[in-house]
Chains A and B, each alone.
Chain A
């Protein structure tokens, strides 16, 4: 069966450190992988998209890698700040439909 797993439910890190989140998938052939941020009581906000033929994408302090051989994406937040505290969701999109399949999310807490 298809499955998307994010490495842990919660991640606590010290301000200034790098947070690394993992998204593993099975029985998918994603054309795209996206990362979203969700704050309590709010809808997800799109952060980054990476295509199957791309290895790495960056946006400011965020970096995403995509390894279709390992069926894994890594999401890095460098120089983390307390304002980065949120739940981060990975989502897969296959090329033949328009629905996103989401992982359960990892809640990141950055301590000052």
Chain B
């Protein structure tokens, strides 16, 4: 079974631009969560989608948004990029996202904002 895939793997943008990242979960998984990882803040939860609905969100500004499609694929968008948005963005999938369920992470998209 193929793992979680994320595209693109690397991205360079400039301040003020917007970016869209994509995540394809493991086949059959309906829950997709997004995380931001930086050296200073570590891994921080952005949001979680299940059946095309955002079910939970972390403490990030509204510039960070996401969506999930009927095939469970998910995208996240960051508008008006800031230098501090440079990070590794990880998505993770699980069957139903219930507590205690194993989450499987993708390799991440490394975003550099100049």
Chain B residues within an 8 Å CB radius of A32: 99-100
Chain A residues within an 8 Å CB radius of B99: 31-32, 93-95, 97-98
Interface: A108 (CB within 8 A): no
Given known pairs A42-B108, A98-B31, A101-B45, the reply for A49 and B58 (CB within 8 Å) is: no
Instruction: Determine, out of B61-69, B71-79, B90-98, the stretch whose residues face the partner at the interface.
Output: B90-98
Given known pairs A43-B90, A43-B92, A43-B108, the reply for A102 and B100 (CB within 8 Å) is: no
Cα A104 to Cα B42 in complex, Å, equals 5
The chain A residue sitting closest to B97, CB to CB, is A98
Total CB contacts across the A-B interface at under 8 A: 61
Chain A residues within an 8 Å CB radius of B86: none
Q: DSSP class of B's interface residues: helix, strand, loop or mixed? A: strand
Given known pairs A98-B33, A100-B45, A102-B42, the reply for A46 and B100 (CB within 8 Å) is: no
In the complex, what's the smallest C-beta–C-beta distance from A25 to chain B, in angstroms?
14
What total of chain B residues lie within 8 Å of the partner, measured CB to CB?
26
Cα A93 to Cα B31 in complex, Å, equals 15
Considering the complex, which residues of chain B in the window 84-114 have a beta carbon less than 8 Å from any beta carbon of chain A?
A: 90, 92, 97-100, 102-108
Chain B residues within an 8 Å CB radius of A45: 105
Cα A105 to Cα B48 in complex, Å, equals 22
27 sample A-B contacts, Cβ–Cβ < 8 Å, listed by A number: A32-B99, A41-B107, A41-B108, A42-B107, A43-B92, A43-B106, A44-B43, A45-B105, A46-B103, A46-B104, A49-B102, A51-B100, A94-B99, A95-B99, A98-B31, A98-B48, A98-B50, A98-B55, A98-B56, A99-B45, A99-B56, A100-B35, A100-B45, A100-B103, A102-B35, A102-B43, A104-B42
